[in-house]
C-alpha cells in the first residue's frame, strides 16, 4: 500500500525540491577546493556548499524510487544521508567528479531504506537478492514486451535467474512477493462481513487460568518432593538427585566411584531410597500420580 503524505508535508517537499534544483552547479576546480577544505580544515561552510550544490542528485534518485510506495520526504532524507557520507569519504586527489561518487552513496542509502520499509517481511539480504528486487520488474517488462503477453513461464524465470546470478526459486519467490503487498490481519474477510482475518488465527498458548493452575501445581509438587527428600540420608538424597533430578543422569558406576561403594551397592541404595520416597508421598498425597506432570 502506498504511503501518502499529508498536504502540508507535500508542500514542504515541493519547496525543498524547488530550492534544491535552483542551486548552482559547481565548476570542477571549485568543487575540489571545497572537498579539500572540508577534508583538511573541517571547514563547515565548504561542506555546506558542496552538499547543497548536489542535493539535486538526491531529488533525481528519489523520483526513481517513489514507485515503491514510500514517502518522498523519507526517500529524500535517506538520500541526504548518503550525500553526507559521500562528502566525508570523497578523496579530491582522485580524478573523479564528486557527483559521480555521491550518486553511488545516495542510491545505496535509498535502496537500503526501500528494502527495510517496503514490506514488514525482510526482503533481500544478499547482494544478488537486492539486485533481483530492484531489477525484477524491469526484466519482466522486457520479456513480456517481446512476447506481447503478460506473465512469465519457467524458461523466462530461468533467464532472469541466470542474468542476476540467483536461484530460480528466488525468482519465483520474488515474483510472488512483488505481485501483492502486505495484508493486515485486521482486514475484513469479505466486504459484507464483520469478521477480521485475525479472528481465525488460533492462539495455542495456555490461557491465564491454566497458567495460574500450572504454577500452583508446580509449587505443590516442589513442596511434596522437598518433604520426601528430607526423609532420606545424605547418601540416598545424592543418589536420587544425581540419578533422577538432574539434567544428565549419572551412571551407577560413576556414583559408586564418588561414594566409594560398588555399582551394585548404589543400585540397592537407590531402590531403598525410591521406596522411602513412595512411602512418604503416600502419606502426604491421596494419589501419588498427582505428583506427575500431564504428558
pLDDT digits (tens, 9 = 90+) for 251-289: 888 888 888 889 899 899 999 988 888 888 787 776 555
Q: Are residues 105 and 146 in the same domain?
A: no
17-20 contacts: CB < 8 A, separation 24 or more? 17/59, 17/76, 20/52, 20/55, 20/56, 20/58, 20/59
Q: Tell me what pLDDT residue 9 has.
A: 83
pLDDT (0 to 100) of residue 289: 57
Judgement on whether residues 105 and 138 belong to the same structural domain of the protein: no
- Mark the ranges of the chain whose per-residue pLDDT is less than 50: 1-2, 182, 293-295
Q: What is the pTM of this model?
A: 0.52
Q: Where are the alpha helices (DSSP H) in 22-65?
A: 28-41, 44-52, 55-65
- Per-residue pLDDT, 139: 82
How would you classify residue 96: left for phi > 0, otherwise alpha for psi between -120 and 50, otherwise beta? beta
Phi, psi (5° rounding) for residue 188? -75, 145
Using one digit for the tens of pLDDT, what is the confidence trace for 214-254?
Answer: 788 778 778 888 888 888 888 888 888 888 887 788 888 88
Q: Which residues contact 274 (CB under 8 A, 6 or more apart)?
A: 240
Instruction: Give the pLDDT score at 147.
Output: 64
| Domain coverage including residue 143 | 124-180
Split into its structural domains, the chain has a count of: 3
Return the exposure string of 256-294: e unless at least 16 CB atoms fall within 10 Å of the residue's CB, then b: beeeeeeeeebeebbeebbebbeebbeeeeeeeeebeee
Of 118, 146, 168, which marks where a domain is finished? 118
Q: Are residues 52 and 157 in the same domain?
A: no
Of 83, 99, 118, the domain-final residue: 118
The grid coordinates listed for 142 are 522486457
CA 25 vs CA 14, 29, 57, 97: distances in Å: 20, 12, 11, 12
171 and 269 share one domain = no
Q: What's residue 104's pLDDT?
A: 94
User: Is the same domain home to 67 and 160?
Assistant: no
Residue 196 phi, psi dihedral angles, 5° rounding? -95, 160
The answer for residues whose C-beta is within 8 angstroms of residue 282's C-beta and 6 or more apart is 288
Q: Is residue 185 part of a domain?
A: no
**Amino acid 294: pLDDT:** 47
The strand pairing partners of 188, in sequence order, are 196
Furthest-apart CA atoms within the chain: distance in Å: 97
Amino acid at each position: 500500500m502506498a504511503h501518502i503524505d499529508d498536504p502540508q508535508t507535500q508542500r514542504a517537499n515541493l519547496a525543498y525540491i524547488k530550492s534544491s534544483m535552483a542551486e548552482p552547479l559547481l565548476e570542477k576546480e571549485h568543487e575540489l577546493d571545497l572537498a579539500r577544505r572540508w577534508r583538511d580544515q573541517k571547514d563547515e561552510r565548504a561542506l555546506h556548499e558542496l552538499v547543497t550544490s548536489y542535493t539535486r542528485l538526491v531529488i533525481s534518485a528519489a523520483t526513481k524510487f517513489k514507485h515503491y510506495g514510500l514517502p518522498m520526504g523519507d526517500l529524500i532524507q535517506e538520500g541526504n544521508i548518503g550525500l553526507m557520507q559521500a562528502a566525508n569519504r570523497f578523496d579530491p586527489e582522485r580524478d573523479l567528479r564528486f557527483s559521480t561518487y555521491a550518486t553511488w552513496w545516495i542510491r545505496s542509502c535509498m535502496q537500503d531504506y526501500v528494502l527495510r520499509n517496503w514490506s514488514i517481511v525482510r526482503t533481500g539480504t544478499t547482494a544478488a537478492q537486492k539486485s533481483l528486487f530492484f531489477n525484477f520488474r524491469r526484466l519482466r517488462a522486457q520479456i513480456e514486451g517481446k512476447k506481447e503477453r503478460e506473465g512469465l513461464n519457467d524458461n523466462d524465470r530461468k533467464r532472469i535467474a541466470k542474468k542476476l546470478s540467483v536461484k530460480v526459486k528466488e525468482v519465483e519467490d520474488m515474483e510472488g512477493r512483488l505481485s501483492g503487498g502486505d495484508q493486515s490481519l485486521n482486514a475484513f474477510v469479505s466486504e459484507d462481513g464483520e469478521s477480521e482475518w485475525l479472528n481465525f488465527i488460533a492462539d495455542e498458548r495456555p490461557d491465564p487460568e491454566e497458567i495460574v493452575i500450572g504454577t500452583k501445581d508446580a509449587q505443590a509438587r516442589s513442596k511434596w518432593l522437598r518433604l520426601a527428600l528430607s526423609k532420606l540420608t545424605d547418601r540416598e538424597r545424592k543418589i536420587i538427585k544425581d540419578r533422577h533430578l538432574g539434567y544428565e543422569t549419572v551412571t551407577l558406576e560413576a556414583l559408586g566411584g564418588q561414594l566409594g561403594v560398588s555399582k551394585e551397592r548404589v543400585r540397592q541404595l537407590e531402590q531403598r531410597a525410591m521406596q522411602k520416597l513412595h512411602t512418604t508421598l503416600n502419606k502426604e498425597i491421596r494419589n501419588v500420580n498427582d505428583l506427575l506432570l500431564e504428558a
